[in-house]
A and B are shown apart, each in its own frame.
Chain A
Amino acid sequence: MTAADVVIRTEGLIKDYGRVRALDGVDLEVRRGEVFGFLGPNGAGKSTTIRVLVDQLRPTAGAATVLGVAPEVGGPALRARIGYLPGELAMAARASAGDLLGYYARLRGGAGQARIPVLAARFGLDLTRPVRALSKGNKQKVGVIQAFMHRPELLILDEPTSGLDPLLQQEFRALVREARADGATVFLSSHVLSEVEVIADRVAIIRQGTIVDLDDVRTLRHHAGQRVELTFDRPVAADAFRGLPGVEDLEVTDTTVRCVLRGEPDALLKTAAAHRVVRWSAEDRELEDLFLDHYRVPVGELRTDEEVPADGR
């Protein structure tokens, strides 16, 4: 892989705040043209990593390069090629959203100015209202627009859909797809897997300052599994369900069977169908659940050629 193909690289990134170690050796490699999801529970180090990449924080140890350049020395020329959306958007200006966005365009030498009204219309943002009077969702729209408007090569987005309602999240995802079609690379963080898995190609999971998993999105979802609950019209024997392929954490109480299902539901369904099923529910498990049951696959042990067929077996 040539140097030009790696858009973000971090090696052993460490960040200490006094005695608190926020990043404990973060290794990342983001390739040109991909949409890379960066997932982790709150406090895991997502924002810290991102803020090192945009040169707001300086690492305690380790190295980072963005578009082939260390953030600290990249200067304005590097920043012109990046679109950044901070995790905590604060806008207190008395100016209107349109004026503020115009200012950010000027800070980029005018790049993006023409797209502001177009993007504002897409997201339903009233450009005439003063920024500090905007709701959180509307401020987030301003943030998204200023990140995308100048069509940068690299987008670094920290929790970009926070505050956006589902319809706007869809619009945002469309923006990301357009950017990728345009050849841009997108690096986005979230603490909600379901948001990211729709658009990401690869996903890294960070927990307590280190990367604990790095996968295709499909593999990750396969690992995460589902929480299944089946209720029958009469009590069932646990033995019938124990040992079924993909079934874990089995709990049988009276007429209800609860378990975690990884992979194909076929065996479980056929076993359940032998009885009269009164109620069923299957929910995707989220990241938080993964960490609660101490799911941890050290990156070194991962078989990167692990195949996950579409049926998830």
Chain B
Amino acid sequence: MAAETPLGETRAGAIGVRATVARVGRPGSVLRWVLRGQRRALLLWAVAVALVSGIYAGFYELLDVAEMEALVDSMPPGLAAAMGYDQLGTATGYLEFTVYGLLGPILVLVFAIGFAARTLAGQEEDGSLELEVTAAVGRRRVLLERYAALVVQVAVLVAAITAVVGVLVAAIDMPVGAVGLAAAGLGMLLLVLAIASVTFATGAVTGRRAIALAVGAVVAVGGFVADALADLLDDGRWMEALSPFSWYLSGDPLAEGVDVVGFAALLGLSVVAVAVAVPAFERRDLGV
């Protein structure tokens, strides 16, 4: 039996001196590691969303405004408005209909929901979270830093879109203000984060990647549909209260700037999601 050693005394062993000071992980270690592992994927996604946004924004040049107006006039009254075609006449309307209302959010959401479900629940399920959580970091730190990685990546993708659109707006002289661009970018960021946060929180609570993915997809698709139907249906306005897409877009951010109520609701949803996730993740069994 080894000789008793009073605690707090360092002893030189065969291989070196063991520090008796507890060494805990420095803040940011998890975040940096996750981002490092995501480098390649994030770069590819940024290029993809920038390309798609650029193509759509660039198309504005080719749109024949006169032809567009003729098309709108030829449609049954109300239908054009319902389909949003009446938007296409203006630059901000066009961008909101294509990049900001459809392709941008969809692409960034696909990335964000996938990552949000994988980074906590997915890693827990396949067992690779165990060594991280049992290292000298708390469960809370692991959760918050992985969430921060989500935020950073979504911000990068939205910034890529904003940059490309901004360059094209200037290049082809579209009547879109910098304030509008910033507001729409902020709105898209908050929208994607809200839905991704719900996904992330579902993963933190259930520990199941598939469930997190499903919930995220339902909220995204359901929100998108509710927003579209709100315009289409008579008396459909109430649906806007339920859809994060409406909170983001119904204030027409590209033209009107930040919609404080809508954006606050999106931010609130993210905050609530994280507030639910942290205690749930701290309290339950992991890896069962």
Query: Which among A108, A146, A178 has the highest number of chain B CB atoms within 10 Å?
Result: A108
Pick the residue among A4, A89, A108 that contacts B25 (CB under 8 A).
A108
A110 contacts across to B, CB distance below 8 A: 23
Q: Are B127 and A106 in contact (CB under 8 A)?
A: no
- For residue B250, CB closer than 8 A to chain A, the reply is no
Q: Are A151 and B136 in contact (CB under 8 A)?
A: no
Chain A 265-283 near chain B by CB (<8 Å), digits 1 or 0: 0000000000000000000
B210 contacts across to A, CB distance below 8 A: none
User: In the complex, given contacts A95-B37, A107-B30, what are 18 additional A-B residue pairs having Cβ atoms less than 8 angstroms apart?
Assistant: A33-B1, A56-B130, A56-B286, A58-B284, A76-B25, A80-B22, A86-B127, A88-B127, A90-B128, A92-B128, A94-B37, A104-B131, A104-B135, A109-B25, A151-B13, A151-B18, A183-B3, A201-B1
**Nearest Cβ distance between residue A111 and chain B, in whole angstroms?**
4
B24 contacts across to A, CB distance below 8 A: 76-77, 79-80, 108-109
CA gap between A76 and B19 in the complex, in Å: 16
Pick the residue among B18, B130, B133 that contacts A182 (CB under 8 A).
B18
**Nearest Cβ distance between residue A287 and chain B, in whole angstroms?**
25
B138 contacts across to A, CB distance below 8 A: 75-76
Pick the residue among A93, A104, A108 that contacts B37 (CB under 8 A).
A93
B130 contacts across to A, CB distance below 8 A: 56, 86, 90
Q: Are A57 and B285 in contact (CB under 8 A)?
A: yes
Chain B, interface size category, equals 35 or more
- For residue A215, CB closer than 8 A to chain B, the reply is no
A residues sitting closer than 8 Å to B (CB atoms) are: 4-5, 17, 32-34, 51, 54-58, 75-82, 84, 86, 88-95, 103-104, 106-111, 115, 118, 143, 146, 150-151, 178, 180-183, 201
CA gap between A12 and B176 in the complex, in Å: 70
Q: Are A76 and B136 in contact (CB under 8 A)?
A: yes
B284 contacts across to A, CB distance below 8 A: 58
Dominant secondary structure of chain B at its interface with chain A: loop
Q: Are A182 and B128 in contact (CB under 8 A)?
A: no
Chain A residue with the shortest CB-CB distance to B26:
A109
Chain B 249-288 near chain A by CB (<8 Å), digits 1 or 0: 0000000000000000000000000000000000111111
B residues sitting closer than 8 Å to A (CB atoms) are: 1-5, 7, 11, 13-16, 18-19, 22-26, 29-30, 33, 36-37, 126-128, 130-138, 141, 283-288
CA gap between A107 and B30 in the complex, in Å: 8
Q: Are B11 and A80 in contact (CB under 8 A)?
A: no
Pick the residue among A5, A95, A143, A178 that contacts B14 (CB under 8 A).
A178
Q: Are A93 and B128 in contact (CB under 8 A)?
A: yes
The 4 A-B residue pairs with the shortest CB-CB distance, nearest first, are A90-B127, A109-B23, A33-B2, A107-B135
B135 contacts across to A, CB distance below 8 A: 79, 104, 107-108
CA gap between A180 and B4 in the complex, in Å: 11
B16 contacts across to A, CB distance below 8 A: 151
